[in-house]
Structure 1
């Protein structure tokens, strides 16, 4: 019998792990079998008291425990938008080290959320819903949007944001301007593929027009260091709005809060060969 793991990158913020557990629970209800929420790293540093007295599970120790219990058929569903090194290197290397210790076992890794070149139109649907919902809640027509993600040193990961941005422009470009930004990028021209940092992008837009509101289309799954209450994006928004008193910046909900994400995860599970 297979064991299903839902994997995120991990965070030191409790809300991120609680959201991972919520998604695992909803996916389990949808497919009718257990789904185990695990994080790649970091989450074991969260005090269990912040996690309903249930410590977060980390991938390597979780795999070790399952193998010790005799499990040999595992399916991993990644909560990653693109092909990060976590999926191409860290997970396979961890599995290989454990196979040396426990003997052969099967670990099927489902595709990421937005596998290119085909992409994932349902993610465009989610972002579109969130853009319109944000503007409607704030009472304005969305004319300026910035699609913002974490940023990555890998062009293949940034290409996912580029693909989603292009799809949003095709869908919404007649109604609004769609720009892109990253929260992190490394120095050097070799990392220019990441585009502008969010604060630089917002200041450039504010200089050009300090009055028209801006929607931040949040390409994040869960609250963490950048996204969510008290994160870096909140701090950037506060600084920009203080410097441009007539401007309002409105972050959208996070992708992980949208009910449509579950159906994408179901599709990824099907792509491993069994449901």
Structure 2
């Protein structure tokens, strides 16, 4: 049975490092699953200077669907590189692909689940893995843990963070002092209060009561402008340390490079093929 082309899709970025990392993951998936896997962003990734991308231009859903390849294929399998049910996948991408199918008879697509699935604690285990690495590298005894995501206008996305955080707290409970989930930022308005607390508030609150060691557990997949070097989260930490110079703040690596994430993606692809071939 011929397998459809698989698009490994993230949100998109203006930084080269996340694009190169996603390409590397797509190549590995291609070698180990026999799918053809092409990485791209929903938006933005085509704007990065291709000289920073080993001479190969970044792609977005739009640039791919408009390309000769996108115009000539009829069957697409979408593998979302997203933690939870983003509107970008469930609304924007569905609209784009539906329009693509209407332009030529015989076209079809399928979108696989995002990385989180209820009852599966592997995202929590990946976070715990990254936390443990920071603890061992810095000989930290019972640090406090702030698990942070971007913040969202969608309560279902927030609930993913909260459920993963609940499992994470159980896993690391005996080796930590305090634990909290939090958001990097939020929208104004009471309807978005579910994002509270904010990372800056948690760091300041803990520093004021004398906590010395804090690990920020990044519930992010890639090191873009938020979770990357000199990004928003690093800048929040620098701001807090101006008022509390004695607090030590450590930041885990984004989850995208953790082998558990790769295993989840590979499993999604293999299950999709097994179901379609029955």
TM above 0.5, yes or no, is yes
Deviates more, 1:243-252 or 1:135-144: 135-144
Give the Cα separation in 1 of the matches to 2:274 and 2:106.
Answer: 20
Structure 1 residue ranges without an equivalent (≥5):
none
Aligned residue number for residue 185 of structure 1 = 186
- Tell me the secondary structure at the aligned position of residue 12 of structure 2: coil
The reply on whether 1:274 has 2:274 as its aligned counterpart is yes
Tell me the alpha carbon deviations over residues 7-53 of structure 1, each in whole angstroms, 9 at most, x when there is no partner: 00001111111111111122222213321001100111211111111
Shift of 1:246: 1.1
Q: Residue in 2 aligned with 1:50?
A: 52
2: CA distance between counterparts of 1:35 and 1:106? 17
1:198 maps to 199
Q: For residue 35 of structure 2, what is the aligned residue in structure 1?
A: 33
Q: How does 1:17-32 map to 2 (within 5 A)?
A: 17-32=19-34
Q: Which runs of 5+ in 2 are unaligned?
A: none
Separation in 1, partners of 2:142, 2:43: 37
The Cα of 1:272 is off from its aligned counterpart by: 2.7
Structure 1 residue aligned with 2:89: 87
**1:208-247 alignment to 2 at 5 Å?**
208-209=209-210, 211-247=211-247
Number of the residue aligned with 2:18: 16
| Matched residue count | 271
CA contact (8 A) 2:184 2:199 kept: yes
| Aligned partners of 1:146 and 1:217 also within 8 Å | yes
Equivalent in the alignment of 1:77: 79
In the TM superposition, what is the alpha-carbon distance from 1:100 to its structure 2 partner? 2.1
**Distance in structure 2 (CA, Å) of the matches to 1:137 and 1:241:** 21
Contact 1:26 1:262 in 2 (8 A): no
For 2:268 and 2:17, locate their aligned partners in 1 and report how far apart those are by CA, in whole Å: 24
> 1:203: Cα distance to partner?
0.8
Q: Could you list the structure 1 runs, at least 4 aligned residues long, displaced by more than 6 angstroms after superposition.
A: none
Structure 2 counterpart of 1:164: 164
Of 99, 102, 106, which aligns to 1:100?
A: 102
Please, what TM-score do these two structures have when normalized by structure 2? 0.93
SS at match of 2:175: coil
* Offset at residue 273 of structure 1 (A): 4.3
- The alignment's TM-score, normalised by the length of structure 1, stands at 0.94
